[in-house]
Amino acid sequence: MAATPTCVYRVDPGLVELLDARLGPPLDSYVRGWQVWLESNGPGGERLEWRLHPPAGFRMPRGVNPHDLFEVVLSGLTSGEPLEAFPAGFQHRRLAEIWEVLEVFPADGDPMTPPALAAAAAAALGGRAPDAAGHADHDRLGDEWKGRRGDFSVGAALLETLGAAPRAAR
């Protein structure tokens, strides 16, 4: 098992706005919905990968270029009710239909403890602590996602693996 120090945040409108304010636009974007930042904000200045994960079965909204997805979501969240569906290309989507979790881990495999990683991630986001931290087997999760042809929630698996408390009822 390849255990990678990892921390995760459940995605909500405030987190997306924090990402924009603290990290700016994503460095890279993928048709499968992932949005990625590489930032040297680890505990000792190590480079961390920040990755937004879409839900199982995600499909890019029709009419949205993957490189514009973050801006489309950010605009949608600031122009209406944060939990309501917003225009995304030729469709309307809710935030939960686009991303589930933000995962943070050492981009270059640098050794660090999950508590140190979680503290660095929280500092980078202005004090917002992650929902969970620990070790995750990225190879196993990637194989599971590929084996199910994307019909697998990496976000839910990360939350479960890292022992995140269930989300409070709204």
In a domain, 50, yes or no: yes
pLDDT of residue 109: 87
In a domain, 170, yes or no: no
DSSP assignment, residue 43?
Answer: T
pLDDT of residue 170: 43
Instruction: Tell me the C-alpha distance between 47 and 41, whole Å.
Output: 6
In a domain, 169, yes or no: no
Question: Left if phi > 0, otherwise alpha if psi is -120 to 50, otherwise beta: which for 104?
Answer: beta
pLDDT per residue over 51-109, tens digit each? 999 998 899 999 999 999 999 999 998 876 667 888 898 999 999 999 999 999 999 98
In a domain, 42, yes or no: yes
Domain that holds residue 87: 3-161
pLDDT per residue over 143-160, tens digit each? 776 776 767 778 888 888
Three-class DSSP category at 91: strand
User: CA of 12: how far to CAs of 16, 70, 95, in Å?
Assistant: 7, 13, 7
In a domain, 110, yes or no: yes
In a domain, 168, yes or no: no
Count of the separate structural domains present in the chain = 1
Q: What is the band of 168 on the pLDDT scale with cuts at 50, 70, 90? A: low
pLDDT > 70? residue 40: yes
Count of CB atoms within 10 A of residue 90's CB? 9
Q: What is the band of 169 on the pLDDT scale with cuts at 50, 70, 90? A: very low
In a domain, 57, yes or no: yes
In a domain, 166, yes or no: no
